[in-house]
Amino acid sequence: MNNIASTGKRIAMITANGFNEAEFIALQKAIMAQQAQARIISSHNGLVYSDPKTGNGINYAADSQLSETLAIDYDCLIVVGGSEHIDTLTEEPHAIRLMRAFLRESMPILLVSEASKLLDVIGDTRFASDTSSDKNFVQSDCVLWSIDGSGLSSVFKGFFEIVSARQLKQDADNGVAA
């Protein structure tokens, strides 16, 4: 992957308090290895915490609010796990709106562990039969689900290839020179 293709990728990471710290860090390292940048999107104004009860763990400043975020502004979407975080997002209308927009436009989405519950909330059952899969990830169209959050570095590499291939196809369709 060349730097020109990587640095232009706009990655949205939806977060809420209670996100899975280990998954977030693994993905952050994988994103940096591809020389791409992620934007932290949250319903919270200010910081989001991996452990909101004690304030321990890592916290990040949100780059944008969910209510102001549009799918068109990004090339892909990533949602890490964390039961508290996912419970919050399943009740967040803007998270549901953003997920639907990415799906409607067939834009790449990476869901990690419990994050697949967001699909259930909107009635998307593409992974309903894969919960007992012996693989660590499954893919359906543009959506990749890391079932247990293991091997996120290699899962992200495959996901990033999907994102890059989609961008190359769009550029070719629009007559943009690569």
Side chain identity, residue 67: S
State how far the Cα of 43 lies from the Cα of 45, in Å rounded to an integer: 7
Task: Report the distance separating Cα 159 and Cα 178, nearest Å.
Answer: 20
Confidence of residue 4 (pLDDT cuts 50, 70, 90): very low
The reported pLDDT for the residue numbered 164 is: 86
Mean predicted confidence (pLDDT) in 70-74: 93
Residue of 168 and 134 predicted with greater confidence:
168
By the 10 Å C-beta count (0-12 exposed, 13-18 middle, 19+ buried), 175 is classed as exposed
What local confidence, expressed as pLDDT, does residue 67 receive?
92
| Closest-CA residue to 78 (of 11, 33, 170) | 11
CATH topology of domain 3-173: Rossmann fold (3.40.50)
Residue 83 clears pLDDT 50, i.e. is over it: yes
Q: How far apart are CA 139 and CA 153, in angstroms?
A: 16
Tokens 């964390």 belong to 82
Residues 84-118: tens digit of each pLDDT: 999 999 999 999 999 999 999 999 999 999 998 99
DSSP state of 41: E
Of 8-22, 82-96, 118-132, 154-168, which gets the smallest average pLDDT? 118-132
Q: Which amino acid is at 64?
A: S
Over its C-alpha atoms, the chain yields an Rg (Å, rounded) of 15
125's CB contacts (< 8 A; 6+ apart) are 119
Q: How confident is the model at residue 165 (pLDDT cuts 50, 70, 90)?
A: confident
Domain chopping of the chain, boundaries: 3-173
| pTM, rounded to two decimals | 0.87
Say whether pLDDT at 133 is over 60: no
Q: Give the pLDDT mean for 10-20.
A: 92
Task: Name the more confident of 62 and 58.
Answer: 62
Task: Choose from 8-12, 75-79, 144-148 the range with maximum mean pLDDT.
Answer: 75-79
Chain Cα centroid distance, residue 31: 11
What is the C-alpha separation between 8 and 136, in angstroms, rounded? 29
The CA angle 32-37-40, to the nearest 5 degrees, is 115
Mean pLDDT of the chain: 84
